[in-house]
Chain A
Amino acid sequence: MKKFLLIFIVLIFALPAYALDGTQLLKQIDRNLNPESFEMYRKLINVEPDGRKKEFVLFSVKKGLDKIAALFLEPASERGRSTLRLGDNMWLYIPNVGKPIRITSLQSVIGGVFNNSDILQLDYAAEYDVMKVEETGNEYLLLLKAKTKTVAYDQLKLWADKSKKLPTKIECLTEAGMLIKTLYFKEVKDFGGGIVRPSYIETDSPLYKNYKSVMIFAKIQKKDFKDEVFTLTFMPNIDSLRK
């Protein structure tokens, strides 16, 4: 009986400690992917089954846990469009329309496999709780559950390299466990300033058979911004942050 009680007590203390480890691990993965506040450039490429491509170039700035904005630089048809995310709020500014409109995380402003939440990705730890951590060979497998209903994917399965603590693959799932898309993190590269992370993400989806999308990263730099940058009124001026 005593033994049973002892095991029970150890388990009670061990479970939160394990959950805490998972959360710490996820936070570590977030920090290894990006500094908390930074700027970067990305190229998004949608590849159709016949090999045709459509490319987009974006400049993005992020601050803290819940603020991120992105500006389209190319192609010409999208130039000047910007998107802003403040927590669960997302807006799209189109120069011709002239005013920001609210958008949702599951929409895609570019078409293809990447949606708005992929483009305006916050820290994983800000949006997800760690439900379980498994160790498989050289990798961790983290099972993540969305903190709120407003998050684009209800569940994530995140595989991370044990030594680098960087994601290698993420499966995005619905509440019912249906696979929406898979993200593959590839080509770890030194961006300078201590940022060593995958330099591109490839994604495919059973919802878009034979299509794939790629996100290539460049010039990731730690940088601090004023909160006023992440406001609706500032959206037409995001280009002024580029040097």
Chain B
Amino acid sequence: MKKLLLYTLLLLFCLYSLVFAEEYKFELSETEKKPYQLGGYGEFRPVLFGLDRNAALYKLKFYNRDEGRRIEEYNFRLQLEGSYEYGIARIFGRVNGDLSHTYQGWSDETSLYEGFLSLKPSNSFTLDMGKKTLKWGKGYAWNPVAFIDRPKDPDEPDLALEGFWVLSADFIQSFSGPLKTLSFTPVFLPVLERINDAFGTTEKANLAAKLYLLLYDTDIDFIVFTGGSRSTRYGVDFSRNITSNFEIHGEFAYIEDFQKRYIDSNGNILSSTNDTVSYLLGVRYLSQRETTYILEYYRNGTGFTKGEFQYFYQFVDRAYDNYLATGNDAPLGKALNLSQGNYGRPNPMRNYLYLRISQKEPLDILYFTPSLTTIVNLNDPSFSIAPEVAYTGITNLELRLKATFLVGGGETEFGEKPNDYRIELRARYYF
């Protein structure tokens, strides 16, 4: 009887061990490091646009065609990244491929987002050369001090961006006391005929530098950019936790001799050059119910005034009327060019407010996050409001459904966009 009991207990223990091993397996192979890494994601993003047929930018886009009240768009993206490490050297590359089907048919674009060689002879020093994004600044939706980055889209601030060809280094030093960390990042950015030519004036050398301090538990960056491709500019940013669930951040940029090109209502291109200031102030707050609030105010000193932007809309209306009367679409072509330049960049005016509220896992639904985002143009005032739900419960699959409604009257930024609303699904699979 005792033996039987012993065998039963032994069997139960073995079964338990087996079940346990099955349930919570952690193979040592999962911790092994390979010299190379390959990964990325594939994405499918269908979008439905509800068109605003009275808006200025609708007229500009669809003046010679009728696409009805709604248009659909199907976007596919493949982003691949890989790295190879050998000793102190590491090569990293990220390639982005987009394939879209819009009312204009199929189009595709492939870009090298990043591709650089990194040398790290010690933990205190890194040297990078190649195409790289630096993403300076502390703001979530905007970064006025990101002097050598492409502007990010406040609607999708987390998306990877294409970098520039640079030579950069990081020197890091740690201390005990109020100053815990000091790091210095100098960057050399040449602009030549086919290298970084989107950055600014070509055949010029540019230098930028960032000094980072962790001082009294506050992140502080001092930033400077100078060179022939853009005017000299200085920046400072900070970020600090006031309490464990309340963070404040800010950025301040001083830009010398900023040249602004704008038009009057007749389409004459005017230009002015001034020193200008841009800044951002923001807070991030996590409530006890695990709701996250991000609130930011952005003063865009390089932006257009309300009057300057109204001139643009008036010019578009005149060009459209002229086209209807004469069939001449040349003025519309000029307006289209402008809308693809400065007038078409995200949030091109002077004063904006950004608010994002997201609730982590409401009703105990794990990996489910509903959010609401609004961007308000304080000069118009017009705004966009975007409710969304995201689900990440299936390993490596991210699902997001987002609707964006644009609200504003005539001659306002959001009121004159070509669509009233946009509904999109984004399914992204990582591998």
Say yes or no: B392 contacts A228, CB within 8 Å. no
Chain A neighbourhood of B135, CB < 8 A: 97-99
Is residue B185 within 8 Å, beta carbon to beta carbon, of the partner chain?
yes
On whether the beta carbons of B247 and A149 are closer than 8 Å, the reply is no
In the complex, the answer to whether A104 meets B217 with C-beta atoms within 8 Å is no
User: Does any Cβ of A come within 8 Å of B280's Cβ?
Assistant: no
Q: Are A54 and B158 in contact (CB under 8 A)?
A: no
Closest to B38 in A: A76
Distance to closest chain A CB from B379 (angstroms): 28
Bound Cα distance A145, B135 (Å): 40
Q: Is the CB of A41 within 8 A of B31?
A: yes
What are 19 of the A-B contact pairs (CB < 8 Å)? A41-B30, A43-B24, A46-B366, A48-B393, A54-B395, A75-B395, A75-B396, A76-B39, A77-B41, A88-B241, A98-B161, A99-B138, A102-B249, A111-B367, A211-B364, A225-B123, A232-B181, A232-B214, A237-B120
Cβ of A243 within 8 Å of any chain B Cβ, yes or no, is yes
Tally of A interface residues using CB under 8 Å: 62
Residues in B with CB closer than 8 Å to A96 are 158-160
Of the stretches B5-13, B66-74, B97-105, B166-174, the one at the interface is B166-174
Q: Is the CB of B214 within 8 A of A86?
A: yes
Kindly state whether residue A11 has any CB partner on chain B within 8 Å: no
Q: Are B26 and A226 touching (Cβ within 8 A)?
A: no
> How far is it, in angstroms, between the C-alpha of A99 and the C-alpha of B145 when the chains are bound?
13
User: Is B385 among interface residues, defined by CB-CB distance under 8 A?
Assistant: no
Within 8 A of B (CB), among A90-139: 94-99, 101-102, 104-108, 111-112
Chain B residues in 8 Å Cβ range of A216? 24, 26
A48 to B394, CA, bound (A): 12
B159 touches A218 (CB 8 A): no
Determine if B400 is an interface residue (Cβ-Cβ < 8 Å). no
Nearest CB in chain A to that of B219: its residue: A232
Contacts of A214 in B (CB 8 A): 24
Partner of B126, one of A104, A107, A226, A237: A237
Given A46-B366, A98-B160, A242-B33: A150 and B395 within 8 A (CB)? Answer: no
> Is A8 engaged at the interface, CB distance under 8 Å to the other chain?
no
CA distance A205 to B393 in the complex (A): 19
A55 to B366, CA, bound (A): 14
Assembled-state Cα–Cα distance A43/B29 (Å): 12
B241-257 toward A: CB 8 Å interface, digit per residue (1/0)? 10111010100000000
Bound state CA distance, A17 and B227, in angstroms? 66
Shortest distance from the beta carbon of B180 to any chain A beta carbon, whole Å: 6
The answer on a CB contact under 8 Å between B366 and A48 is yes
Binary contact track A50-90/B, C-beta < 8 Å → 1, others 0: 00101101010000000000000111110100000011110
Expressed in whole angstroms, the Cα–Cα distance for A170 and B431 within the complex equals 37
Q: In the complex, are the beta carbons of B430 and A76 less than 8 A apart? A: yes
Pair B392/A111 contact, Cβ less than 8 Å: yes
The distance in angstroms between the C-alpha atoms of A106 and B28, with both chains bound, is: 30
Instruction: Flag whether B90 is at the interface (Cβ < 8 A).
Output: yes
A233 touches B181 (CB 8 A): yes
CB-contacts of A195-241 with B (<8 A): 200, 207-209, 211, 214, 216, 218-219, 225-234, 237, 239-240
A168 and B85 alpha carbons, distance in the complex (Å): 41
| CB–CB B241/A89 < 8 A | yes
- The reply to whether B395 and A77 form a contact with Cβ atoms under 8 Å apart is yes
Q: Do A208 and B395 touch (CB < 8 A)?
A: no
Pick the contact of B217: A89, A98, A240 (CB < 8 A). A89
**Distance of A149 Cα from B39 Cα, bound (Å):** 41
Contact with A along B115-129 (1 / 0, CB 8 A): 000001001101000
Is B123 a contact of A234 with CB atoms below 8 Å? yes
**Chain A residues with CB under 8 A of B159:** 96
Contacts of A75 in B (CB 8 A): 395-396, 430
> Is B165 interfacial (CB-CB < 8 Å)?
no
* Residue B136 CB within 8 A of the other chain: yes
Q: How far is the CA of A108 from the CA of B361 in the complex (A)?
A: 11
**B172 engages A228 (CB within 8 Å):** yes
Q: A77-B430, A89-B214, A111-B367 are in contact. Are A104 and B393 (CB under 8 A)?
A: no
Closest A-B pairs by Cβ, 6 of them: A227-B174, A98-B135, A76-B430, A77-B430, A233-B183, A150-B244
B212 contact from A54, A232, A242, Cβ within 8 A? A232
- Chain A residue with Cβ nearest B163: A98
Task: Tell me the bound Cα distance from A174 to B408 in angstroms.
Answer: 46
Question: For the complex, is B133 an interface residue (Cβ under 8 Å from A)?
Answer: yes
| A45 interfacial by beta-carbon distance below 8 Å | yes
Segment 310-348 of B: residues with Cβ below 8 Å from A: none
- Check B430 against A233 for contact (C-beta < 8 Å): no
Instruction: Determine whether the beta carbon of B286 is less than 8 Å from that of A231.
Output: no
Q: Mark out the residues of chain B between 221 and 252 whose CB falls within 8 Å of any chain A CB in the assembled complex.
A: 239-241, 243-245, 247, 249
Contact with A along B210-221 (1 / 0, CB 8 A): 001010010100
B43 at the interface (CB under 8 A from A): no
Check B284 for interface membership: any CB of A closer than 8 A.
yes
Q: In this assembly, does B424 line the interface, its C-beta being within 8 Å of a C-beta of chain A?
A: no
B137 within 8 A of A: yes
Taking each of B31, B126, B243, which has the highest tally of chain A beta carbons within 10 Å of its own beta carbon? B31
Contacting pair B395 A55 (CB below 8 A)? yes
CB of B264 closer than 8 Å to a CB of A: no
B123 touches A229 (CB 8 A): yes
Whether a CB of chain A sits under 8 angstroms from the CB of B398 is: yes
Given A43-B26, A76-B430, A112 and B244 contact (CB-CB distance below 8 Å): no
Q: Whole-angstrom distance between the alpha carbons of A57 and B395 in the complex?
A: 13
Q: A54-B367, A77-B395, A211-B366 are in contact. Are A43 and B30 (CB under 8 A)?
A: yes
**Which positions 155-182 of chain A face chain B at CB distance < 8 Å?**
none
Of chain B, the residue at the smallest CB distance from A113 is B366
Closest residue to B135 on the A side, CB-wise? Answer: A98
